[in-house]
Structures are given as C-alpha cells and as structure tokens.
Structure 1
Amino acid sequence: MKRETIDLEAGLEELPRVAERMIEQIPEDAVIALRGDLAAGKTTLAQAIAASLGLEESVTSPTFSLQHAYGNRLFHYDLYRVGFDELAQLGLLEEFERPGRHLVEWMDDRLKAFLAAAGYNLWQVTILPEGDRRIYRIEHLNA
C-alpha cells in the first residue's frame, strides 16, 4: 500500500494555512508525531493547530508536565526526556485512547511501533528548515 505524503512550504505568517490543511487531511482521532530539530517550530505548529480548531487557550510546550490538554479533543505531549518504558510506567499510554488529536513531540521509534501495532491512526509531520521558511511533510504512517 502506498504511503500518503504531502509537502507544504510556509513561512510563519502562512502557518494558519498549514494548520488548516492538516486539520482537513488528518482525521480527528489520530496520533500525530511532530518531528524536527530543536527549535524547528513543533510547539508553534501546535499553537496554530489549536487556533485553527477555535481553541483560545494558551498553547505552550509540555516539557515538564509531559502532556497538556486543550479543550477535550486536543492533546499535546513533549516526550524529549521520556522514553517508551517510562511513559508506560507513568500510565500515559492509556492517554492515547482518549478521542481527539494527539500531537506528540519527540516520539521515539518504540512508541511509534507500539501505536502502529495497536491500530492507532498514526501520522507524522516532519518540519524541515528551508531558509526562513519551513517544509511541513505530512505522512500517514498506516497507509
């Protein structure tokens, strides 16, 4: 089966368009791995997605709390300091069962493999720098 991939190029001012396209493309009940180097714009993209969904809450990186929930349908994780085993020990794997979009920064390969094997609708958005712009590569990993 062919993997579905879309590349969108945008500057910061065009990020709302990227977020809207993601919302159109990616179903509501999905786990979305946000990949990119440090300071690539993963949290900024999460902010744009929340705004496009009409959420007015302040979106920040959940670096120390591991997860923030916005409304009852958008969940944002930062797993920079946490591996799969620790995530399981903390009981956070069950969080992915909640209906809604789950944005995961720094998802490791073990978590990705676990979620795919468990049948979650798994997507990945890779943020690639292109001068002062970014390329947002959107891939459906279960396709």
Structure 2
Amino acid sequence: MTTYETTTVDETQAVAQALGKLVQPGDVICLAGDLGAGKTTFTQGLAKGLGIEEPVSSPTFTIIKEYDDGRVPLYHMDIYRLAEAAVQEDLGYEDYFYGAGVSVIEWSEYLAELLPEDRLVITIRNREDGGRTLTFASTGPVAAARLKELSESCPTSH
C-alpha cells in the first residue's frame, strides 16, 4: 500500500497525471471515496497523463464516457446511480475491463463481482485541513507493478 498526502487540487492531479503516464491497456483502476472526495478530479489528472486534451467530467448520468484521443483510451465509469443494480445492467463492462484502454471506475464496489482480480484500488479521503489522502492498493501483479512504478516516479509518497 502507498499513501500520498496532497494539499491542493493541482497536487492531487499531479499524482494522477504521473499514474496516467504509466498505465497500459487493460489496466483497471477503482476509485473509492465519499461524494465530493475528488474521484473525478483524480480522473482528470489521469487523463492529462494519458495525453487526453478533451475536458473530463463525471459520467454520473451517462454511466460510461470514452476518451479516445490520448496515448491509451480512457473508459471513465461512474456506477453511483446504478448502485446495487449495476451488476444486472448489461453495459458491456467486461469489454471495457479487458479492452484496449484503461478503465477508471467510480463507485466500483457496486461491481465487485464483475471486476478483474488484478486491479489498482485508490481510496480518496478529504482531510479537515482541505487536503486529500490518496491510498493506493494493488490486488494483483500488474497493479502491483504499476504501483511500484508510480512510487519510483512520484516522490511525494509516504
């Protein structure tokens, strides 16, 4: 597990941008945190690291947004509105998880039974001082390698 403490939105996005430069097709990133914790903010930084110039916004009402203009396509999912019904929805999740892009899933806990075993889980928590704590955990060898690369390239790790 790796933890980053950020004090500004720019710092949060810088960590995400560093990860965006490392991710590869088929990587799955699960974002956890309360409403307003910064999951979409994190995804915006990741998109910058992928070279995506299109504005990234929360896909709360569309569920899945695809961004294809970067180094690797980004599949941004927000499962919040579907909640427990998410696993019953036939939205082609597996096509995204095992496709040519990187899947970033907000509220991924609702898809727990469908998620690949190897994934990166990032928990984002707001702190009382206005900053954020980003806790990274890997659940398999590919995610562990990505986390190791991030720790080596992004020196603000604690």
TM band (smaller chain): 0.7 to 0.9
Corresponding residue of 1:126? 123
> How many angstroms apart in 2 are the aligned matches of 1:19 and 1:108?
20
The unaligned stretches of length 5 or more in structure 1 are none
CA separation of 1:55 and 1:88: change in aligned 2, threshold 3 A: same
Shift of residue 140, structure 1, vs aligned partner? 0.5
Greater percentage in strand: 1
Contact residue 16 and residue 52 of structure 1 kept, 8 A: no
Shift of residue 142, structure 1, vs aligned partner? 2.4
Percent identity between matched residues is 31
> How many angstroms apart in 1 are the aligned matches of 2:2 and 2:24?
15
Shift of residue 87, structure 1, vs aligned partner? 4.1
Q: Which amino acid aligns with 1:20?
A: Q
CA RMSD of aligned residues (A): 2.2
Corresponding residue of 1:21? 18
Aligned match for 1:43, one of 40, 44, 69: 40
1:104 maps onto 2:100 in alignment: no
TM-score, length-normalised on structure 2?
Answer: 0.74
Higher relative contact order (CA 8 A, sep 6+): 1
Shift of residue 15, structure 1, vs aligned partner? 2.5
The number of equivalent residue pairs is 135
CA separation of 1:88 and 1:30: change in aligned 2, threshold 3 A: farther
1:41-120 paired onto structure 2 within 5 Å: 41-71=38-68, 73-83=73-83, 85-94=85-94, 95-108=96-109, 111-116=111-116, 119=117
TM-score, length-normalised on structure 1?
Answer: 0.81
